[in-house]
Amino acid sequence: MKPSGAQHFDQAPRFWRNAALPFIEARAIADGRKACYARHSHQQFSLGTITAGQSTYVHEHRTFHVSTGSVVLINPGVVHACNPIADQPWSYRMLYVDTPWLTALQQQAGFSQGPGFQPYSTPLSNDPQLFARVNQLYAVLLDEQLSSLAKQQQAADFFRTLHQHLEPTRPLLPEPRHKLERAADYIRDNCTRALKMHDICQAAELSASYLNRAFKQQYGMTPHAFLVNQRVQLACLRLRQGAAIAEVAAEAGFADQAHLQRAFKQHLSATPGQYRA
C-alpha cells in the first residue's frame, strides 16, 4: 500500500486566461516537487502565494525560505526562481499582471510619482491579510459564475490598494550602467536572431570577459541565459495568441520544437502544450 499524503496531488501546472481580461494571467500547481525553475524573469509584475509546504525562493542575489502563508512579489524584469526543498511537496498560486495596466492603476491611486511603473521594495511578505486577499482574487478569477466585468473590477480594486501593504523601492544604482543596459536592450530587440557574443559586445562597447561578469552581477544571469529568457517570454505571448507550437519555436529563435520544449520546462516547469491549453 502506498503511504497517504501528497502522492495523489496533481503535478501538472494549471493555467488560467480570459480573452476579456488580457491584463492578467493565473497559474497554480498542487504538487511542486517536480517544479524546478532556472533563474528567469517576466515582463509582467508577478504575485504569488505558497498555499502548502515550503520551498526556496531566489530573488536577484538573495535566497529566502518560504512556506505556507508566504506571499512573493516580483517586479517586472527581476531575476528569480522558486524550487522545492529535497522531495518535500509544496503548492503555490501565481498571478502575472500586465505592467502598463498596473502602472495606470498606480497613477490613479497616487502611488506612482512618474510616468513609468513604480517597483515595490518588498520581495516577500508574511502578512496574513495580504495572503488571504491574493487567494481571494485567484478564486474570483477562476469563478465561472462571475462576469468578466465583476472580475475586472475586483482585480482593479485589489491592485489599487496593494501599495498599502508595500513600499516603493529606491534605485539600487544612482547612476545606471548605461552600457549594460544597452547590452540588455540589444538582446531584447534581437532575441529572435542567432546572436553571437561578439554582436552583444559590439553593441555595448564592452569586452566579452567584462560583459559576462558585469551583466550577471547586474541582471542575475548571463547574457545567454537572458537571451533564452527573452525568447521564452516571446513564445508565451505567441502561444497565448493561439499560434502553433512549431511556428512559435521558429519565430522565437529556437533551433527547433525540442529546443523550445527544453527551455519551457526550465523556465515554466511546463510544456508549451500545457501552457497553451
Give the single-character DSSP code of 270: S
Identify which of 117, 113, 116 has the alpha carbon closest to the alpha carbon of residue 159. Answer: 117
Give residue limits of the domains in the chain: 6-164, 178-276
Dist. CA 45–CA 116, nearest whole Å: 13
C-alpha distances out from residue 215 to 59, 190, 263, Å:
16, 17, 21
What angle, rounded to 10 degrees, do the helices at 208-219 and 178-189 form? 90
Q: How many C-beta neighbours within 10 Å does residue 203 have?
A: 17
Give the CATH superfamily of 6-164: Jelly Rolls (2.60.120.10)
Q: How many CB atoms lie within 10 A of CB 216?
A: 16
The Cα 84–Cα 100 span in angstroms is 32
**Measured between alpha carbons, how far is 212 from 277 in angstroms, rounded to an integer?**
37
Report which secondary-structure segment, H or E, holds 12: none
Question: What are the backbone angles phi and psi of residue 207, rounded to the nearest 5°?
Answer: -75, 160
- Residue by residue, pLDDT tens for the chain (277 residues) are 333 344 445 567 889 999 999 999 999 998 888 878 889 999 999 999 999 999 999 999 899 999 999 999 999 999 999 888 988 889 999 999 999 999 988 887 777 666 788 888 889 999 999 999 999 999 999 999 999 999 999 999 999 888 776 654 444 443 346 888 899 999 999 999 989 899 999 998 888 878 888 888 888 889 999 999 999 999 999 999 999 999 999 999 998 999 999 999 888 888 999 988 7
Task: Check residue 6 and give its pLDDT.
Answer: 40
Distance CA 169, CA 192 (A): 32
CA distance 33 to 54: 10
Phi-psi sector, 212: left (phi>0), alpha (psi -120 to 50), beta: alpha
Distance from C-alpha of 31 to C-alpha of 17, rounded to nearest angstrom: 21
The CATH H-level superfamily of 178-276 is Homeodomain-like (1.10.10.60)
Q: 3-state SS of 102-161? A: HHHHHHHCCCCCCCCCCCECCCEECCHHHHHHHHHHHHHHHCCCCCHHHHHHHHHHHHHC
Q: Residue 82: name the closest of 261, 225, 267 by CA.
A: 267
Parallel, antiparallel or unpaired: strands 80-84 and 90-97: unpaired
Contact, 68 vs 54, CB < 8 A? yes
pTM over 0.75? The answer is no
Task: Give the span between the Cα atoms of 22 and 19, in whole angstroms.
Answer: 5
Q: What is the pLDDT of residue 112?
A: 67
| 88 and 54 Cβ atoms separated by less than 8 Å | yes
